[in-house]
Structure 1
């Protein structure tokens, strides 16, 4: 399907404007690496809040959530319901901690508590998680572009990835945050416009959408049974709480935003604003997916047969945008999705570069010239960008981008949250106890992640992980946390002659 000239011009002009806006921060006078990593702590709280929101949304939410709702139900929306509790812990404990430490690295605290190995472990896990995240977003960016121009998805991924690398290597966190703020406003407006258009296109309006959705169990949040082998309400809720606690507590993307705010109070305000805004917006995306299901159920002749299967579910919304939206609006919405994805990837590249510089190069108070620091940041960003392209190319054969991203983020997190909680909640836990606890946690995570893939024989079925994949981060965190405390009790008792 070709793109009308008006939409193509809007797409190019909007994308070009966003690109040059981001690059413009590179040419600011007297720019330092502190400006690159924290924006000089002069960014207003509302912009940081919109950036936190945009970090949640990106193209993963804009495309994968409607695809998920279209394919199944609202079970994944339970993830959003876990955010307020995680945000409370962030505002109560994490923001004050990082503002007090005053380090650009989220993992400096772990080195203070347990030594350099803990910081290295957390940093490596973070970088792996970002590769999975960037790869997923690049793949989801390729879907609407493929629907627009008919180009090969692999070619789009490579071209987009290289384009974003240039943008990310120059902009810095200040450009990322301001670009996120603009994209957040445009994305919300575009999503509302899409839902209103679908409702207006239905012969019986909202009532028909609700009726079709109810008849096909589209509003189902999942089973409330305490069954942990399937994606029940509780499995998604526990997963959401732990992954969001990790986001707010140890994710460099968020920590850099805490440090970019003018004051601690402003950082807290930004966290509440960005996190709570995501809940109604994610609900909007799920409603769009259900509305699309009702729309194509009512007008099946409008949906190509190739998009009606499971593998193509993530392409449903992009197809609707291209085929049904008015001229001009299509180009603007596609451009905003594309630019939001670029902005989110640039956030990950910027944060990953910061981690590489602060956690691997500037250790032990090593001094680098500003020129060398910028060089390290740029080269690190390029390497991370290229690796994310390779991950994205591997994503083209998955069933659901959202499920794949959730599984990869859970695995690569590696139980870092458990280690962080050990150091944060107890000053008694020592290095040796934390080290053993992490080793135990990694073994459990490896078992949970690998046995569903490699254990296929009935002979070894008892060794297979029976739990749902999303529980990997939950179990990994709990195992590390409890192991550390139990080891501390045992060693403490032994040292006092009690055992």
Structure 2
């Protein structure tokens, strides 16, 4: 092993050891499901925000964003802006609502509104999508780091997977949160180190690089056309809005973050912090890709013919131009991003398994038994994730394509289901199921006939719009069909668990508090 690889490996090993150490530190406190899954609702708002930030920024982001801006422009940043729009519209209502409407699982709400079947459907959709995501993130980490260092892809997958399972299993949500905090800090340091290298190494410095990029429209956010068949700004805004609406209303990994904060106010601040940290990091990764493009043109340095994709340029630059110490630090950030995402998903899948399935099947089980079941689920799903990632590594892309196809069908419509439940007092279980079924059918048709029938060719009946619109259509179909079907089909709605019922509850609570204060004075 040469000196550079030894340095990089030592830094990565030390970083992974720190994360496992955090899990060991919190291990003794994991004596109840409340502690294990929601950290006894005692996490400071700033730490919750850092955890949310680290959960959203995955290892895929670290590679995909520089690759996208290197190959094209900054259009991939447009959906990210919508996270701020979603929070501005709904944050102050949705966050306190979930903190008071559910115990630990986001899908408990769908069960209250539309019955057990809707709760099971939404839970399974979440679990299927995030289990697949864990495998893909772990696989892409192994592939990226392996190409940079020459380390075995299979060894990377197994070591990172095992370490993540260990600290998540023993440390619970507290370990997940505080390792996320460390990961967030390391990621920011890594970003600034890479930017400093690019500015120093580029002939003419940052000014020359930015001028060249601007002259070639590399900072463009995309076409302002109203077409829905191309990735225009309109399409990306619609995609981003519904994507983050689903994340903030029907994704256990984020809803669970609301529940771990000490108070409603700290939860709201934490969510805001997480969103405000994400947007500049996405922009900085875009900037890295653009500066890389300018660097190779201004320096005249030729890229190896073996590099076939834009996603490979950033890892190549790190391995050839950055000091082993700083490369090791950035590798640690890359490892941490993957581990943070996987740890969060493992804990959340265990929550869903315990709260939405085990407790319903075994209502008389003790909390200690539920805690043991949750830990077993972390271990089982963690090991299955490793096997899935290893299978992807040997599949040469076919399994990866199948993953994107299946998850786009299964996970469709959850934001639409939330809107139906939250905004429509007359919505009922029959209407909801009509919306779910039609949404799944439409999403399956669009996914299978995409790109002029790449999987199933139906000729003139192929899906005609851009792929980013599939999720948008799935949400809208579920909401519209669910609402109309609820009006047509008989069933009992509910005002109490809607926005209108929640606003009334808040007014009554505020009035009661004001009366209590007046009586005391």
Task: Output the TM-score relative to the length of structure 1.
Answer: 0.91
Listed as ranges, the matches of 1:269-288 within 5 Å are: 269-288=269-288
Deviations 1:126-174 (A, max 9, x none): 0111023212321232144313431342443244323322232222111
**Structure 2 unaligned regions, length at least 5:** 492-521
1:258 is the counterpart of 2:255: no
1:361 is the counterpart of 2:362: no
Deviation at 1:183, TM superposition (A): 1.0
**Structure 1 unaligned regions, length at least 5:** 494-499
1:7 is the counterpart of 2:4: no
Q: For residues 271 and 61 of structure 2, what CA distance do their matches in structure 1 show?
A: 19
Deviations 1:378-413 (A, max 9, x none): 2222332234335434377459x9x99987764432
Deviation at 1:125, TM superposition (A): 0.6
1:326 is the counterpart of 2:327: no
Deviation at 1:491, TM superposition (A): 4.2
Residue of structure 1 in register with 2:41 after alignment: 41
Deviation at 1:445, TM superposition (A): 0.8
User: Mean Cα displacement is larger for which, 466-475 or 87-96?
Assistant: 87-96
Contact 1:90 1:248 in 2 (8 A): no
Deviations 1:218-274 (A, max 9, x none): 222111111112211111111111010111111101111101000111101111111
Q: CA RMSD in A?
A: 2.6
Residue of structure 2 in register with 1:241 after alignment: 241
1:389 is the counterpart of 2:386: yes
Deviation at 1:458, TM superposition (A): 11
Listed as ranges, the matches of 1:296-335 within 5 Å are: 296-299=296-299, 301=301, 303-307=303-307, 309-310=308-309, 313-335=310-332
1:267 is the counterpart of 2:267: yes
Deviations 1:169-194 (A, max 9, x none): 22211111111111111101210121
Q: Quick one: structure 1 residues 489 and 202, their matched pair in 2 at CA, closer, same or farther if it must change by over 3 Å? A: same
1:437 is the counterpart of 2:440: no
Residue of structure 2 in register with 1:193 after alignment: 193
1:27 is the counterpart of 2:28: yes
Deviation at 1:456, TM superposition (A): 5.5
Q: For residues 23 and 455 of structure 2, what CA distance do their matches in structure 1 show?
A: 53
Residue of structure 2 in register with 1:497 after alignment: none
Secondary structure of the structure 1 residue equivalent to 2:383: helix
Contact 2:239 2:468 in 1 (8 A): yes
Contact 1:132 1:408 in 2 (8 A): no
From 374, 378, 383, give the equivalent of 2:375: 378
User: Mean Cα displacement is larger for which, 84-93 or 97-106?
Assistant: 84-93
Listed as ranges, the matches of 1:104-123 within 5 Å are: 104-123=104-123
Q: For residues 126 and 41 of structure 1, what CA distance do their matches in structure 2 show?
A: 23
Q: Quick one: structure 1 residues 457 and 193, their matched pair in 2 at CA, closer, same or farther if it must change by over 3 Å? A: closer
Deviation at 1:60, TM superposition (A): 2.1
User: Mean Cα displacement is larger for which, 378-387 or 193-202?
Assistant: 378-387
Q: For residues 256 and 161 of structure 2, what CA distance do their matches in structure 1 show?
A: 23
User: Mean Cα displacement is larger for which, 458-467 or 187-196?
Assistant: 458-467
1:347 is the counterpart of 2:348: no
Q: For residues 255 and 396 of structure 2, what CA distance do their matches in structure 1 show?
A: 33
Residue of structure 1 in register with 2:426 after alignment: 428
Q: Quick one: structure 1 residues 415 and 391, their matched pair in 2 at CA, closer, same or farther if it must change by over 3 Å? A: farther
Contact 1:407 1:469 in 2 (8 A): no
User: Mean Cα displacement is larger for which, 227-236 or 250-259?
Assistant: 227-236
Residue of structure 2 in register with 1:476 after alignment: 474
Contact 2:44 2:262 in 1 (8 A): yes
1:78 is the counterpart of 2:78: yes
Q: For residues 327 and 458 of structure 1, what CA distance do their matches in structure 2 show?
A: 48
Q: For residues 221 and 152 of structure 1, what CA distance do their matches in structure 2 show?
A: 38
Q: Quick one: structure 1 residues 421 and 101, their matched pair in 2 at CA, closer, same or farther if it must change by over 3 Å? A: same
Off by >6 Å, runs of 4+ in structure 1: 403-408
Residue of structure 1 in register with 2:176 after alignment: 176
User: Mean Cα displacement is larger for which, 466-475 or 446-455?
Assistant: 446-455
Q: Quick one: structure 1 residues 383 and 365, their matched pair in 2 at CA, closer, same or farther if it must change by over 3 Å? A: closer
Deviations 1:446-475 (A, max 9, x none): 111112279369983111111112211100
Residue of structure 1 in register with 2:334 after alignment: 337
Contact 1:90 1:249 in 2 (8 A): no
Q: Quick one: structure 1 residues 12 and 300, their matched pair in 2 at CA, closer, same or farther if it must change by over 3 Å? A: farther
Q: Quick one: structure 1 residues 457 and 89, their matched pair in 2 at CA, closer, same or farther if it must change by over 3 Å? A: closer
Q: For residues 304 and 256 of structure 1, what CA distance do their matches in structure 2 show?
A: 45
Q: For residues 265 and 77 of structure 1, what CA distance do their matches in structure 2 show?
A: 29
1:460 is the counterpart of 2:458: yes
Deviation at 1:119, TM superposition (A): 0.3
Listed as ranges, the matches of 1:143-162 within 5 Å are: 143-162=143-162
